[in-house]
Structure formats: C-alpha cells, structure tokens
Copies of this chain bind each other. A is one copy, B any other.
Amino acid sequence: MLRTIIRTFTINSNYNFYRSIKLPNSSIFLQKRFQNLYIANKSQEENVHINLNSNRFTYRTYNCEQLRLQNVGEKVTLCGWLEYQRMNKFLVIRDGYGHTQLIIPDKNEELQRLIKSLPYESIIEVYGTVLSRPRDMINSKQTTGEIEVLIESLAVLNRACDDLPFNLREFQKAKEALRMKYRYIDLRFPEMQRNLRFRSKFIMDVSNFLVNECSFVNVETPTLFKKTPGGAQEFIVPTRFPGEFYSLVQSPQQFKQMLMAGGIDRYFQIAHCYRDEGSRSDRQPEFAQLDIEMSFTNVEGVTGLIEEMLQLCWPSFLKPLPKTFSKLSYKEAIEMYGTDKPDTSFDFTIKNCTDILKKNTNLYSTVDFGAYYLIFKNPYNRLPKSVKNQLNLLTENYSETKFIQSNIINAAEWTTKMSNLLGSNIAAELQSNIPITDNSVVFLALGNRSHVLQLLGAVRLEYIKFLESEGHKIKDGCVHPLWVIDFPLFEEGIEPGTLQSAHHPFTAPHPDDAHLLEISPKKVRALAYDLVLNGHEIAGGSIRIHNRKEQEFILQLLNIDKSLLQHHLDMLESGCPPHGGIAIGLDRLLAVMLNTQSIRDVIAFPKTFEGRDPITSAPSPITDHDKKLYHLEVATKSRL
C-alpha cells in the first residue's frame, strides 16, 4: 500500500508551498543537528566525494552517492536533478556527489504522467524506500549500482526550462564558449565537481599543514593599494577624490614584507591578485596565489617547507612525489633544456657541440656562438615530412640560427652529407662524439648560443609530443618537481643599456656575487628560486633584501625613483628581520595535479582569454552617476 503524493509547483496556485512542506522525516535533520558525524581523514583522502556530513542542516537524508546495500529497507529523502528517465518506470536523479536510480511504482499513472512532462534538469525531492536491485539490473560501474529507491512521494522543487543550452550527459560535446556562458550548468558535470571539490580539499590540507604543523599565521592583506614601481601593469580604481586612484595589487609582496617587520614571522594567505596583461591565453586578470613568507630563513628553509607541504598534501590518485626535489641552476637549465622551466619528466637533454663546430670559423659570425643538438635513437627515429615542416616553423623567431633536421638511416652517409656543410673533419668528429648511429634522428642548431638553446628547447617538446602521438610512452606518468635556482638578478631592460629585475626589485643578490653588483651587475645571481613541475612554472620566490642601503642601491641600478618606495625603505630600517618567501600559482598547480586542458577548468568562474566575464560579458559601460562620482570622462578613440 503505497502512499504516493505528487506535488507540482504552480506559481499562481501555491506560491511558496515548498518552504512549508512537512516532509515525513523533516525533523530528522533537526534531531541530528548536534550529532557529530566526524569522518576520519583517511576516508576523506580516499574519496573526496563521500561524506556523510553532507546532509546536516538540510532536508535530505542522503546525497545521491551514498546509498548502498546496507541501506536496504530504509526510508530516505533525496534531492537532486532529474537526469534521465526511461519506460516511465526508471528515473535517474543526480547531485554533486553522484547518481541514484529511482523507480516509479506500477500503475501510478499520475506520477508517470508528471515525470513524462517534466524537463530533464528539474529539481525534485523524493521520499521512498531503498530496495536492492534484481541481480541482472546491478550496475557495478556505479557506486549506488546495487540499490534503487522506490518512490513514495515526489515533489518538483523547481522546474527547469525545456531548452537548456547543452546536454548534461555529454561533457565532451559541449563547446567551451557555451560551457563558460552557462557555467552554472557546466559545473554540474562530474569533471567540474571533481575539480572544484579537490581544489577545496587541497587548500584545506595546505592550510592545516601550514597552521597546525608549522605555526603559520593566515593574514588577509588589502588589494586596494598604491602602484608598485617596476612591476606588471596594474588595474586602477578611481575614487571620490578627484584624479586619485588605487591600484589593485599584483601580489601582497610589500604587505608580507611589512608583516615580517611587524613580527608575524610566519605568514601565509590564499591571496587574491590582479594583473592587467591584456589578452593572453591561460592567464587570468585575477588569480589566486598561495603566498608564503618567513623570517630568519634561507633558500633551503623555503624550498624545504614547500617540498614537505607538497609531499603531504599530494593527491592520493597521483604517484607520490620524490623525497627531495632536484635542484638545477638557471644556467644548467638553459644549457640542458633551452628553457628556465624544463620538463624533466623525460630525458633527451640538449647536448653541446660548440667546441667541435667552433673549429670551422666560416660557420659563425656571432660573438656568442653556440652549437647544440638533440639525438633520438631507434625506436624514436621517425621524422615524417609533416613533422619536419612543423619544427621548421619554430625557427621563425630565430632567423639567424641554422637548424638542421636529419633522419639518419646510415651514419656514414650522414657524415658525408654533412661534410659539405661543416667540413669533413668536423662532420667526422661530430659523428664519433655524439655518437651518431644508424637509424636515428638528429636536430642540430648553430648560431647565437641563447637562440640555439631556446630553439632546441622548443624542438625537444614538440618532437616528444609527436612521438607520444605515435604511441610511444616517453613519460612515466609521474610529476617531476624541479627547483630552478641561481637566476640572474637583472635582465636587460626595454631601453638598451638599462636593467630590470628578473624577479622583482626586492629580491636579494647572491652573497657570493656581491662584489659584482657595481662592476658587472648582469652577472649577479639572485637568491631566487622557481618550482617547475613537468615544464610548468608553479611557484617563484626569493630571499628578500632586508637592509635599507642595499635596497636603495638596487633601486638606483634599476632607475626606480626611491621616493615611490619611501615607506618600504623606512620599514626596512625600523628593524626588519632577514626573510624570504614564495608564491605558488594555485590555478596552475591544480591544473597540473588534475591534468586539465586549461587552468579555466580548475577555476569556478574564469574570465575569457580577452578578460571578459563570459556569463554577463562584463566589463560594461558605466552610468553618468558613476562618471560624476569618480570624476571621470571616457576618452573617445578619436581623441587618443
């Protein structure tokens, strides 16, 4: 004898019924309110989706992922999206945790009619009894696949419209632009649920480690501040003071240094940062950074902290990180990989043959000559024309560089061929030194050393991508963390002969290079370090300058007006401890961990690559009231 109540929501007749409905078991959540259903960390780590506490303070008794055989016979209340129905008999209900199959009782034509007319993605609430599925109906792929719920009453809490922009059963098919415009629907896909829920768990684990195991203090710092000299383009914010603007901080750098001077000697924050970099793919105008600073530390202190933190908070669905992370100097990274963010998840490093090729003085005109090669031996020795063409495209930015791609069947033949180009002695020396064997592929580049290395760095990545597409398993599926250290303190500025900071103006010079600061500043290394995971730059940090005179000298070298940083200089001289820190790009790190196509897949509401909000298409024109309040006139294009 089933008690079947069908409720339909009609705006005119029963405006707000759902808020006053008395569910048969609606008092359960109140009774349960003070019952502590704490779940051990272990199960949380194993499956971020399962959590019995997800139903407290709500009127459901289970979420759609929780019911198992052990619940058979229980009366339950579930809420969620109507995802699917078939044969007027079976429904699938879904929420952010999972799916449950429901059954419409036989001969309940009223309910069958209702379900038939109800658009998918409507929100329903169901009360019913948990049954075990007949053996042939068990779905072993679904965590709730052994049970189903026989409906006793069903309420439509919110009817969906009939024409949603995409189908919730086909994640792969929805175009990204459409997914972004209707992000509130897109987030329902299990992939997005996993990404956002994992992100939250990771931030929680990191915070617990920093606070409970390392005594860090979480401090929120302002974002409306003064322009930082010598940094990225900052957004500005007009105020009621005519002509006066805040800048939106590009990082909490100055604040965290003030915290060090202020005795908050171990600081962290999930910092909200802003950079106006125009249209750049995989960059966001606002982004989250895990910002960390410590007093009385050094390079080993900061890198050691981050290593332990990542090891402890690393997701269990990935292979564990190594016990210690490799360190490579900037110089070595460039020499071996042609980039300061090398992908060390596979070998095939760049090799130097400058000494051999230098012997033929006809080969080079440039002062800083270099010759380097990459070699791929059998079975990695396919080089079809299409790949060759693609790799040639990479040389576009290096017109002065000679780039030779060789698909070598017979090594002796190759030497002969090369003799014309390089001279016979050199070709022979090259062959025996590399050494070149039959059935191999060699990429050789010569010219300006720095260009040659950059080019071969790009060739290395591109060719590996091709080999992988051919089915070769080049990478071991692990994440390979790498510290790149000993960065140069300065790089050439935009104006020739000027200097700009490679990291930022607050980075300390390497003490061993202090004597070079005045005579040869470009040779000075910084106490700076980047963390690179499989070719992605994840974090960057440094030991900072804490001495006023030293900071003034660096600003002078950078041609930055020191009066713009008066407060910072005063701060250093007020008794500022030696300190250092790091900022981790959370979006990038999570994208690596979750192996997503884009950082947009780990951000709840990302902007488009143009910087627009895809849902509202903000930015938008402002009102006259705002123009007046903020003393603004918008210059028309013709005037500028």
Contacts and interface: CB of A to CB of B under 8 A. Distances in A.
A178 interface: no
A200 B196 contact: no
A300 interface: yes
Contact of A576 (B158, B222, B238, B578): B158
Given A199-B219, A633-B633, 6 more contacts: A57-B302, A96-B265, A121-B574, A123-B578, A160-B573, A628-B640
A260 to B, nearest CB: 8
A90 interface: no
B629 A632 contact: no
23 contacts: A16-B508, A54-B215, A57-B301, A81-B263, A81-B575, A158-B546, A182-B574, A184-B259, A185-B262, A192-B262, A199-B219, A220-B270, A223-B286, A235-B238, A237-B248, A238-B238, A239-B276, A239-B619, A242-B635, A243-B621, A245-B619, A258-B615, A633-B633
Contacts of A285: 224
Interface in A181-200: 182-188, 192-193, 196-197, 199-200
Contacts of A571: 184
B265 A11 contact: no
A462 interface: no
Given A79-B577, A296-B60, A224 B511 contact: no
Interface in A216-271: 216-227, 233, 235-248, 255, 258-259, 261-266, 270
Nearest to A205: B211
A368 to B, nearest CB: 29
Given A157-B578, A203-B218, A613-B222, A39 B629 contact: no
Contact of A211 (B200, B216, B237, B627): B200
A214 B59 contact: no
A42 interface: no
Interface stretch (A30-38, A102-110, A387-395, A433-441): A30-38
A565 B88 CA distance: 37
Contact of A193 (B33, B44, B184, B263): B263
A53 interface: yes
Nearest to A604: B219
Contacts of A615: 258, 567
Interface string A67-111: 000000000000101000000000000011000000000000000
B193 A57 contact: no
B243 A634 contact: yes
A50 to B, nearest CB: 10
A620 interface: yes
Contacts of A29: 301
Contacts of A508: 16, 19
B56 A214 contact: yes
A212 interface: yes
A597 interface: no
Interface string A502-534: 000000110110110100000000010000000
B630 A633 contact: no
Given A58-B294, A255-B605, A278-B240, A9 B547 contact: yes
Given A263-B188, A578-B157, A242 B620 contact: no
Nearest to A611: B239
Given A79-B295, A295-B79, A123 B263 contact: no
A272 B215 contact: no
Nearest to A619: B244
B514 A16 contact: yes
Given A96-B264, A213-B38, A575-B81, A20 B57 contact: no
Contacts of A213: 36-38, 53
A611 B245 CA distance: 11
B15 A514 contact: yes
Contacts of A151: none
B214 A262 contact: no
A224 B223 CA distance: 12
Contacts of A332: none
A204 interface: yes
Nearest to A37: B213
A480 B184 CA distance: 39
A123 B242 contact: no
A174 to B, nearest CB: 14
A630 B263 contact: no
B244 A158 contact: no
Nearest to A182: B574
Given A96-B263, A219-B604, A295 B58 contact: yes
Contact of A577 (B158, B186, B574): B158
A164 interface: yes
B620 A244 contact: yes
B262 A187 contact: yes
Given A238-B236, A264-B96, A547 B604 contact: no
B58 A622 contact: no
B187 A264 contact: yes
Given A218-B200, A272-B220, A296-B60, A550 B11 contact: yes
A632 B296 CA distance: 45
A637 interface: yes
Contact of A160 (B574, B618, B636): B574
Contacts of A300: 30
Contacts of A60: 296
Interface in A1-57: 9, 11, 15-20, 29-30, 33-34, 36-39, 41, 44, 51, 53-54, 56-57
A161 interface: yes
Interface string A265-292: 1100010101010100000011010000
